């Protein structure tokens, strides 16, 4: 039901505010769960603990003094609570000066010891009139908590008798779960913390059940008997290619290649995830698979998220495959029009065997003669529409997704349950792990000598910034100002910048100059995260490191792990938040991509790991794939039970919900 339905009685202003939160229907609003709860912590002063949140009623007994510090302000006043005088400080509430002597207020704040409290908020209501638990929702500037709370209450009260259970009754009884209407009531309007716990338990289970039911349905669709012509490849060529390599494949690489070649030779279209840490050798496995595809008489395509990575892959594939008579080409948006047109013509004629490209491959004008294998690198960067568009260019083409954000196999089978998975855990011999140092300020002055030593030894340096130019709304170091500063600081070296707004030729010119050591310090945005392979670049400074996910930081750090020289990475952040410090210290103590992505999942949730992967299957809002393993296993088993007997009317509600969801999200890769 749309939120503008008259019976919901929401004003146009509220509907507009909710739309800014991407909430357009009653279902979306009721599923917009609180991000946390404010608990009214009421207890005697004698039981207060240092730095603990406290709530109390008090009488104002002094005038309010207010000081301004630039844009900031602080106010101080005394109150009396139960015959005890307390000194209150509150920040950025200049209107506190309007508090009158002898006024009764309720204060929530942090106890600082002695008689001092730093107030978080205050109001004029008696303590007894405050709810014990207040939901706090994620919001945007200009949208008040009250707007969200009142809208949720109004919609719930109007629709509570129409909210249906999706979870089959047999599972509700089995796990002693709440009915959906009661769970929504308790999550949005809890009276006790037990209300929240029981609501979470019910709503989490529903999320997992819908997820695994969707995955099971997608698996069924893939196994519905559609025949694929097996790719009968020339084994001699593949054996020769592997023997000609200047190094030996690791056991994990050999196992992954065997899995892929077996899939290609089967009558079922491959849908496989190849995951492994930065630099583990996924690309060579994909290259050999593409060569096998060509030897079977089909074309191959390798999709890369950036021109930088596409051009690097194109060079690598040409160097590897040209000697075997396999013709490769690269296609990207910034190419000259006549050159692009000629390549598109040759792809259609089948004279180009392997095409490497960016989103340019997805254009309708690009038609393959006989596409047999699609490999997508950095798969989480592509939307399902894009992957689907490429897969549809071939008749039952095999599909290989590659990810350098690896997660443990048990988690991978949960999140990518509709794919087969190959994992490369072992790293090539001889590579040294970079040393990572966390600097607790957004400056590298404390390690300037180390950075200068690195440059004096003839090595090169990356400097990563989160922004291209100065922006009032985004307070972060930018490449333009930083480049100008470093040109003065490192005046005896060549300092240049690189960012996504530059055109293709400009970016390529800078990258070629950096690869040739004509540039010693490269100031860049995250465009270098993938695709840069400069062995001599052994140092990296990352400004505002708290603005990046752990897996992205690990990917960036992988740029200085390309050779046998010890790399150095400096993470700069002035953030005092404990959660930020916890995250960044993960990178200091570990260089294992599996551990790092696991921590990213634990601390930030699956969105940053999966990118757009979960389009087409229900998202997790409350469910935590790290902590809720017991519930996950139960929901997976229950989904499998339902799929064995999908005609059972007891399962109709959840199966129909998932079916409608899949039809609505038909952009899913298959």
DSSP string, 398-432: EEEEEESS---HHHHHHHTTTSEEEEE-PPPTTPP
Provide CB contacts within 8 A for 188, sequence distance 6+: 30, 33, 34, 135, 152, 153, 156
Query: Any long-range contacts for 465-469 (C-beta under 8 Å, 24+ apart)?
Result: 465/523, 465/524, 465/525, 465/543, 465/544, 466/525, 466/526, 466/543, 466/544, 466/547, 466/548, 467/525, 468/499, 468/500, 468/501, 468/525
Q: Residue 466 carries which DSSP code? A: S
- Residue 409: which pLDDT band, with cuts at 50, 70 and 90? low
CB within 8 Å of 173: residues ≥ 6 apart: none
pLDDT band at 604 (very low <50, low <70, confident <90, very high): low
Looking at per-residue pLDDT, the higher value among 494 and 591 belongs to 494
* Cβ–Cβ < 8 Å for 405, 380: yes
Mean pLDDT of 411-436: 78
What is the reported pTM? 0.66
| DSSP bridge pairs for 328 | 354
pLDDT digits (tens, 9 = 90+) for 246-304: 889 999 999 999 999 999 999 888 888 898 887 788 899 999 999 999 999 999 999 88
Tokens 């004279």 locate to 351
Flag whether pLDDT at 437 surpasses 60: yes
Rounded CA gap, 188 and 192, in Å? 12
Q: Give the position of tokens 């519905």.
A: 224
- pLDDT of 383 above 60: no
Q: b/e per residue, 128-148, with b = 16+ CB within 10 A?
A: eebeebbbebeeeeebeeebb
Q: Which phi and psi angles does 638 have, rounded to 5°?
A: -65, -35
SS3 of the chain: helix, strand, coil, percent, to 5: 45, 20, 35
Above 90 in pLDDT, residue 41? Answer: no
CB neighbours (10 Å) of residue 65? Answer: 11
| Pairwise pLDDT comparison (601 vs 391), residue with the higher score | 601
**What domains can you pick out in the chain, each with its CATH number?**
41-129 (2.40.50.1010), 235-266+281-403 (3.40.50.300), 435-590 (3.40.50.300)
Each residue's pLDDT tens digit, 474-495: 678 899 999 999 999 999 999 9
Confidence check: pLDDT of 462 > 90: yes
- Cα separation, 228 vs 62, in Å, equals 83
Q: What pLDDT score was predicted for residue 507?
A: 86
Question: Is residue 205 pLDDT above 80, yes or no?
Answer: yes
pLDDT at position 112 over 50: yes
Residue carrying the six token digits 């979470």: 200
* Whether residue 453 has pLDDT greater than 60: yes
Check residue 662 and give its pLDDT: 65
In this prediction, residue 174 carries a pLDDT of 95
Residue 329 sits at φ, ψ, to 5 deg, of -150, 160
- Write down the pLDDT at residue 393: 72
Higher per-residue pLDDT: 522 or 549: 522
Q: What is the DSSP letter of 459?
A: -
Choice among 121-135, 154-168, 595-609 with the minimum mean pLDDT: 595-609
Angle between helices 307-321 and 504-515 (to 10 degrees): 60
DSSP state of 266: S
Query: Is 356 in a helix, a strand, or coil?
Result: strand
Which of 99-113, 326-340, 433-447, 620-634 is predicted with the least confidence, judged by mean pLDDT?
A: 620-634
Average pLDDT over the chain reads 86
pLDDT at 669 over 70: no
Q: Report the C-alpha gap between 649 and 220 in whole angstroms.
A: 19
518, pLDDT greater than 50: yes
pLDDT, greater one: 404 or 559: 559
Would the pLDDT of 608 be above 60? Answer: no
Residue 335 half-sphere exposure toward CB, CA atoms < 13 A: 22
- Kindly state the average pLDDT of the residues 445-464: 95
Mean pLDDT value of segment 109-125: 91
The two tokens of residue 579 are 């959660």
pLDDT at 609: 45
| pLDDT-derived band at 544, boundaries 50, 70, 90 | very high
Q: How confident is the model at residue 610 (pLDDT cuts 50, 70, 90)?
A: very low
**What is the tens place of the pLDDT at every residue in 129-182?**
888 888 989 888 788 888 999 999 999 999 999 999 999 999 999 999 999 999
Residues paired with 436 in a beta bridge: 569
Write the pLDDT tens digit of every residue in 42-101: 889 999 999 888 999 999 999 999 998 877 889 999 999 988 999 999 998 888 889 999
Across residues 411-430, what is the average pLDDT? 76
- Of 498, 490, 492, the closest CA to residue 514 belongs to 498
Task: Identify the pLDDT of residue 613.
Answer: 37
């Amino acid at each position: 039901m749309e939120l503008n339905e008259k019976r919901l009685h929401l004003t146009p202003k509220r509907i507009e505010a909710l739309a800014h939160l991407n909430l357009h229907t009653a279902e979306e609003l009721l599923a917009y769960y609180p991000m946390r709860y404010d608990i009214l912590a009421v207890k005697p002063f004698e039981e207060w603990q240092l730095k603990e949140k406290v709530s109390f009623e008090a009488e104002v007994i002094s005038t309010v003094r207010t000081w301004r510090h630039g844009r900031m302000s602080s106010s101080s006043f005394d109150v009396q609570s139960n015959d005890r005088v307390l000194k209150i400080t509150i920040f950025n509430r200049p209107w506190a000066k309007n508090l009158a002597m002898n006024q009764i207020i309720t204060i929530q704040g942090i106890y600082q010891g002695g008689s001092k409290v730093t107030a978080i908020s205050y109001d004029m209501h008696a303590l007894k009139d405050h709810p014990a638990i207040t939901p706090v929702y994620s919001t945007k500037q200009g949208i008040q908590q009250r707007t969200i709370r009142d809208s949720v209450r109004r919609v719930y009260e109007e629709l509570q008798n129409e909210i249906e259970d999706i979870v089959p009754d047999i599972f509700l009884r089995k796990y002693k779960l709440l009915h959906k209407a009661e769970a929504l009531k308790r999550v949005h309007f809890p009276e006790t913390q037990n209300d929240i716990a029981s609501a979470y338990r019910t709503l989490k289970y529903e999320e997992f059940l819908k997820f695994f039911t969707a995955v099971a349905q997608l698996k069924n669709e893939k196994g519905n008997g559609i025949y694929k012509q097996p790719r009968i490849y020339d084994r001699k060529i593949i054996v020769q290619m592997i023997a000609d390599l200047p190094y030996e494949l690791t056991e994990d690489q050999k196992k992954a290649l065997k899995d892929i070649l077996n899939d290609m030779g089967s009558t079922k279209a491959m849908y496989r995830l190849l995951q492994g840490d930065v630099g583990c050798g996924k690309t060579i496995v994909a290259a050999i698979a593409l060569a096998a595809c060509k030897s079977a008489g089909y074309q191959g395509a390798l999709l890369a998220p950036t021109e930088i990575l596409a051009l690097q892959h194109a060079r690598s594939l040409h160097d590897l495959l040209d000697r075997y008579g396999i013709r490769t080409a690269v296609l990207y948006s910034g190419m000259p029009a006549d050159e692009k047109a000629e390549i598109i013509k040759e792809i259609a004629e089948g004279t180009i065997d392997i095409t490497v490209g960016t989103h340019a491959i997805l254009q309708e004008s690009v038609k393959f003669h006989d596409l047999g294998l699609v490999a997508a690198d950095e798969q989480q960067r592509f939307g399902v529409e894009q992957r689907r568009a490429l897969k549809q260019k071939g008749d039952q083409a095999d599909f290989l997704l590659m990810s350098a954000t690896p997660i443990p196999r048990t988690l991978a089978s949960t999140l990518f349950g509709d794919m087969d998975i190959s994992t490369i855990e072992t790293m090539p011999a001889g590579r040294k792990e970079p040393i990572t140092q966390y600097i607790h300020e957004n400056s590298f002055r404390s390690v300037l000598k180390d950075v200068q030593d690195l440059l004096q030894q003839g090595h090169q340096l990356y400097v990563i910034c989160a922004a291209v130019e100065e922006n009032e709304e985004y307070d972060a170091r930018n490449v333009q100002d930083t480049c100008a500063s470093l040109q003065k600081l490192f005046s005896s070296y060549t300092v240049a910048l690189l960012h996504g707004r530059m055109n293709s030729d400009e970016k390529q010119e800078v990258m070629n100059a950096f690869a040739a050591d004509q540039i010693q310090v490269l100031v860049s945005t995250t465009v270098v995260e993938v695709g840069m392979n400069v062995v001599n670049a052994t140092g990296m400074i990352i400004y505002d490191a708290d603005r990046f996910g752990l897996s992205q930081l690990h990917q960036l750090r992988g740029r200085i792990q390309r050779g046998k020289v010890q790399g150095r990475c400096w993470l700069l952040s002035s953030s005092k938040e404990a959660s930020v410090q916890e995250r960044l210290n993960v990178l200091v103590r570990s260089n294992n991509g599996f551990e790092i992505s696991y921590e990213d999942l634990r601390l930030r949730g699956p969105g940053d790991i999966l990118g757009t992967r979960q389009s087409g299957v229900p998202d997790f809002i409350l469910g935590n794939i790290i902590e809720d393993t017991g519930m996950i296993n139960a929901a997976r088993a229950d989904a499998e039970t339902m799929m064995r007997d999908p005609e059972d009317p007891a399962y109709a509600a959840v199966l129909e919900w998932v079916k409608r969801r899949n039809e609505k999200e038909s952009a899913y890769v298959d």
